[in-house]
Amino acid sequence: MNLISTATTHWEGDLVSGAGTTNLGSEATGPFPVSWKARTEQHAGITSPEELLAAAHASCFSMSFASRLAKAGTPPASVDTQAVANFRKLEGGWELTTMALTTRVIAPGSTSETFAALAEDARENCPVSKALKGNVEITLDAALVD
C-alpha cells in the first residue's frame, strides 16, 4: 500500500514582510498562517515549518512506540510526547539543529529495561526520525508513569 500525503502553501510578499497559509491535503484542520517572524522571533498564534515538523515527529514517535510496546506484550494505556524543534541561526544561515522528544507513558507491566530499549528503537526508527537522521540531532527523555 502506498499513501501519498500532501500540503500546500500560498505565500505573498518577500521573506521578511510577507506571509502565507499552509493547508493540509487531508483538510483535517487549517489553514495555518505562516510567517518568517513566527520562525525566527515569536509564534504569536502563527505556526512555522519547524512547529509542523515537531507535530509530525511527536505523533510519529508516539505511534511507533505504542506499536513496539504492544508487540512486547505491554500495550500502553497512553503515550504523551512533546517534540521541541530548535531552529537556529548559524554561520551558514538558519538551520534546524535539534529535535528533543519527551515522552511520558502509562504501560502496565512494562519493565524499565524493556521500556528504555523500545523507546530508543522508536526514536531511531520511526519514519520521521529516519527522515531527519544525519541532519538533525534527536534526543529522547522517556519515562514510565503511573
The reported pLDDT for the residue numbered 45 is 86
pLDDT in tens, 65-120: 999 999 999 999 999 999 999 999 999 999 999 999 999 999 999 999 999 999 99
Residue 44: pLDDT band by 50, 70, 90 thresholds? confident
Contact by Cβ (8 Å): 136, 123: no
Closest Cα to residue 84, out of 51, 121, 132? 51
31: cis peptide before it, omega within 30°? yes
The reported pLDDT for the residue numbered 83 is 96
pLDDT in tens, 6-42: 989 989 888 888 989 999 888 888 888 998 888 888 8
Closest Cα to residue 138, out of 89, 83, 90, 66? 83
What domains appear along the chain, each with residue ranges and CATH number? 7-40 (no CATH), 49-144 (3.30.300.20)
Main-chain dihedrals φ then ψ at residue 87, nearest 5 degrees: -105, 110
